[in-house]
Chains A and B, each alone.
Chain A
Amino acid sequence: MTQVPDIVRQMAEHMATTVPQAASLGFKLVSVDVGRGSIQAAWREDLVGDPDTQVIAGGVVTSLLDHTCGLAMASAAGTEAFSTATLDLRIDYMRAAAPRAGVVAEAHCYKLTSTIGFVRAEAWDVDKSDLIATAQAAFVLNRPNAKAGTR
């Protein structure tokens, strides 16, 4: 977390906490760097997916991974104004999270072309070396300034 401009950090904070779905899930920004982002979701009783085990729902992990991928995309694009849309998102669930455990996700936008961003992400509950899920996503980037002549 070194060379990120303040405006990117503010955007990251906004993305992680102010977007309605993020706010309702209680997301917290962990870190943001160029092309990278990390967000945390705490365990909550109303977010349980399996009442027998009290494990957080897969849907929360899906939202967290999608959102963290979006953050990595946004921080890769830097200060440029743009909007994104998810094209596809693949999630592999390696194991269930621990009972009553929150989840942390970390995403890396490893390639950004003029129109598409490719992102990988990982999620874990307690130990980063023991993942609960991985994700791979592609985003389309809409740069309003890129096609100024056609607007």
Chain B
Amino acid sequence: MSRSAEQLETFLQRVPYVRFLGMRAELIGDEMTAILPFAPHLVGNTFLPALHGGVIGAFLEMTALAQLSVAQPSQRMHKTIDITIEYLRPGRAMTAYARADLRKIGRRIANVHVEAWQDDRSQPFAALRGHFLLSPQGERPFQS
């Protein structure tokens, strides 16, 4: 397993809320794809049924944080400053995928865009733009 993959795996394993969501991620080179398998407890609208808007936002935010953990390894977690979530279509009762685009990584602040889709990448169902406060870079991430 590459160093980046290890960092990503450590990040995902360490955060209890990631397990609550059931989120996973795969790394190909330095490009990460976050995966959210459908689960009944993620539903916000039982009639459609559709994923909860908060779950979609959380999935996109965790995708940004996970991609940042690969790009900027740190002993401490990076912090969300602000996020704007755009809802384009209902999130259906099926697996969702997301990829983060690190638009700018500054000394202290990162600007990240994330897009999520289900069965068709060209038809995203939600997007996020956000700013994140970067924790100092560390040689040995997540060691206490």
Interface size on A, residues (CB 8 A): 36
Interface size on B, residues (CB 8 A): 37
**Min CB gap B54→A, angstroms:** 3
Check: B85 CB closer than 8 A to any chain A CB.
yes
- Provide the bound-state CA to CA distance between A88 and B83, in Å: 10
Please pick, from A20, A51, A66, the residue contacting B15 in the complex, using a CB distance under 8 A: A51
> In the complex, what residues of A have CB within 8 A of residue B43's CB?
19-21
Cβ-defined contact, A90 with B52, below 8 A: no
- Provide the bound-state CA to CA distance between A127 and B59, in Å: 28
A-contact 0/1 string along B39-56, CB 8 Å cutoff: 011111111000011110
Cβ-defined contact, B82 with A50, below 8 A: no
> In the complex, what residues of B have CB within 8 A of residue A89's CB?
53, 57, 84-85, 87
Cβ-defined contact, A46 with B40, below 8 A: no
**Min CB gap B15→A, angstroms:** 6
Check: A58 CB closer than 8 A to any chain B CB.
yes
Cβ-defined contact, A87 with B87, below 8 A: yes
Known: A63-B52, A66-B52. A19 touches B16 (CB 8 A): no
- Provide the bound-state CA to CA distance between A91 and B57, in Å: 10
Could you say which of A22, A23, A51 has the most chain B C-beta atoms within 10 Å of its C-beta?
Answer: A51
Query: Which B residue's beta carbon lies closest to that of A90?
Result: B84
Check: A86 CB closer than 8 A to any chain B CB.
yes
> In the complex, what residues of B have CB within 8 A of residue A47's CB?
16-17, 20
Check: B79 CB closer than 8 A to any chain A CB.
yes
Instruction: Given contact pairs A51-B14, A87-B86, enumerate 11 new A-B contacts (beta carbons under 8 Å).
Output: A19-B52, A20-B44, A20-B46, A20-B52, A49-B15, A59-B58, A63-B58, A86-B87, A88-B84, A92-B81, A96-B79
